Amino acid sequence: MPSGGSRRARPVRSEFGLIRRLQARAAKPDRQVALGIGDDTAVIKTSSTEWTLITTDLLAEGVHFDLATSSYEDIGYRAAIANLSDIAAMGGTPRFMLVSIAIPSTCSTTEIHQLYRGMMQASAPYRVCLVGGDTSASKHGLFLSITLTGVVRPGRALLRSGAKVGDRLYVTGTLGDSRAGLDLLSSRRRRTLPAAHARFLLARHHRPSARIAEGQWLVKQGLAGAAIDLSDGLTGDLRHICEDSDVGAEILGGSLPISAACQAYAAAYRLSPQEIALQGGEDYELLFTVPAGQQARFERLVKKTPFHCTCIGTITPKRSGLRLRTEQGTTSPLPLTSYEHFRRPS
């Protein structure tokens, strides 16, 4: 078909399918690129003592946040955490930040300052330095994009591709809180949940943590095979580890760490806490693997830290796929229910 012909443009149907195709387009291999498209950050061999990590995340109004339920400060905070969490997933130390914003006419200078206050609050504990960005007007809502660099010791970054059959799967913190918090915001459910639980879940949604110290500790111990941060939900992010490591996985449903608040939320609204934990996005916890032979040592070492890590399953051969084992011992395929852009409602 000649250019300028009437061929109908095909809509994008799969975020991850598109990324895979973009990966094939990536620039010619560069000797300095240790890792390009496909992991939580790119890894660049910048010196013999330190490699640089680079990540970027875009937040779009109406897709990632709703100004009716989130303050500008909270939006800025979450945007920074999304990037910090990718550095955490590689076991790195965050360094420099660039911020680009497209501002609609409805947005005031004060609100933009609030957005930045949130970003700075999230990144201040790591002494991240804001070094640049870009500013534009927007005709369709607020857009916020952060690019963050970090550093890691050469060859030590935690990758999605390092899982081996038999490895134990671990997760930090608790799962599903952010999703439960989001549900509370978008419904009137908050009123019937004890106030302390509601506050906890809303805080976990608006002010999540990036597990930087945990990621750095995992690198230092040298015990983690693969790692990813949980931004899209456990099932989806586990799938990335499995695809990139060429393995399968079995999750023990009864072992998923679920907070008392999330349990109470699920009980109050007759939802399955396990489903919320499996599907809930934006927990920003770390999912990582530990070789079975190192499990006892890992458990001993982690007890000496303030970190909360739970074994939630095992890496299996690829042919077994991703499975969920119930407490009664039955297994079933793990449904792909995590967040993906462009997916049509079924």
The DSSP letter of residue 65 is B
Residues in the chain: 346
Q: Are 148 and 128 in contact (CB under 8 A)?
A: yes
Nearer to Mg ion, 167 or 283 (CB): 283
SS3 of residue 141 by DSSP: coil
Q: Does 131 bind ligand ADP (CB under 6 A)?
A: no
Task: Name which position in 34, 40, 202, 206 contacts ligand ADP (CB under 6 A).
Answer: 40
Q: Does 282 bind Mg ion (CB under 5 A)?
A: no
**Which residue in this structure is represented by tokens 């895979």?**
20
Flag whether 222 is marked binding: no
Q: How far apart are the first and last CA of the chain?
A: 33
Backbone conformation region of residue 138, classed left if phi is above 0, alpha if psi is from -120 to 50, else beta: beta
Flag whether 331 is marked binding: no
| Contact partner at residue 250 from Mg ion, ligand ADP, none, CB < 5 to 8 Å by partner kind | none
Stretches 34-42, 71-79, 245-253, 336-344: which one binds ligand ADP (CB under 6 A)?
Answer: 34-42
Q: Does 40 bind Mg ion (CB under 5 A)?
A: yes
CA 259 to chain centre: 19
Residue 41: HSE in the Cβ half-sphere, 13 Å Cα cutoff: 31
User: Which residue type does 288 have?
Assistant: F
Stretches 110-118, 131-139, 171-179, 224-232: which one binds Mg ion (CB under 5 A)?
Answer: 224-232
| Of residues 81-100, those binding ligand ADP (CB under 6 A) | 86
Q: How far apart are CA 269 and CA 20, in angstroms?
A: 38
Flag whether 327 is marked binding: no
Q: Does 57 bind ligand ADP (CB under 6 A)?
A: yes
Q: Does 38 bind ligand ADP (CB under 6 A)?
A: yes
Stretches 59-67, 142-150, 193-201, 221-229: which one binds Mg ion (CB under 5 A)?
Answer: 221-229
Task: Name which position in 12, 19, 131, 260 contacts ligand ADP (CB under 6 A).
Answer: 19
Nearer to ligand ADP, 38 or 133 (CB): 38
Beta carbon of residue 222, minimum distance to ligand ADP (angstroms, whole number): 23
Instruction: Tell me what percent of the chain is helix, strand and coil, each rounded to the nearest 5.
Output: 35, 25, 40
Q: Write each residue from 68 to 107 as x if it is in contact with Mg ion (CB under 5 A), else as -, in one continuous string.
A: ------------------x---------------------
Q: Are 107 and 73 in contact (CB under 8 A)?
A: no
Q: Are 171 and 228 in contact (CB under 8 A)?
A: no
Q: Does 282 bind ligand ADP (CB under 6 A)?
A: no
Q: How far apart are CA 207 and CA 200, in angstroms?
A: 10
Flag whether 339 is marked binding: yes
Q: Which residues contact 160 (CB under 8 A, 6 or more apart)?
A: 38, 39, 40, 226, 227, 228, 240, 241, 244, 245
Stretches 31-39, 138-146, 205-213, 257-265: which one binds ligand ADP (CB under 6 A)?
Answer: 31-39
**Which residue in this structure is represented by tokens 């079995």?**
250
Q: How far apart are CA 346 and CA 342, in angstroms?
A: 12
Nearer to ligand ADP, 209 or 314 (CB): 209
Task: Name which position in 70, 216, 231, 245 contacts ligand ADP (CB under 6 A).
Answer: 231
| Contact partner at residue 38 from Mg ion, ligand ADP, none, CB < 5 to 8 Å by partner kind | ligand ADP
Q: How far apart are CA 182 and CA 264, in angstroms?
A: 15
Give the gyration radius of the chain's Cα atoms: 20
Q: Are 241 and 156 in contact (CB under 8 A)?
A: no
Binding site for Mg ion (CB under 5 A): 40, 86, 229
Binding site for ligand ADP (CB under 6 A): 19, 22, 37-40, 57, 86, 231
Sequence ranges of the binding site = 40, 55-57, 64, 86, 116, 133-134, 160, 229, 231-232, 282, 339
Sequence ranges of the binding site for substrate = 64, 282, 339
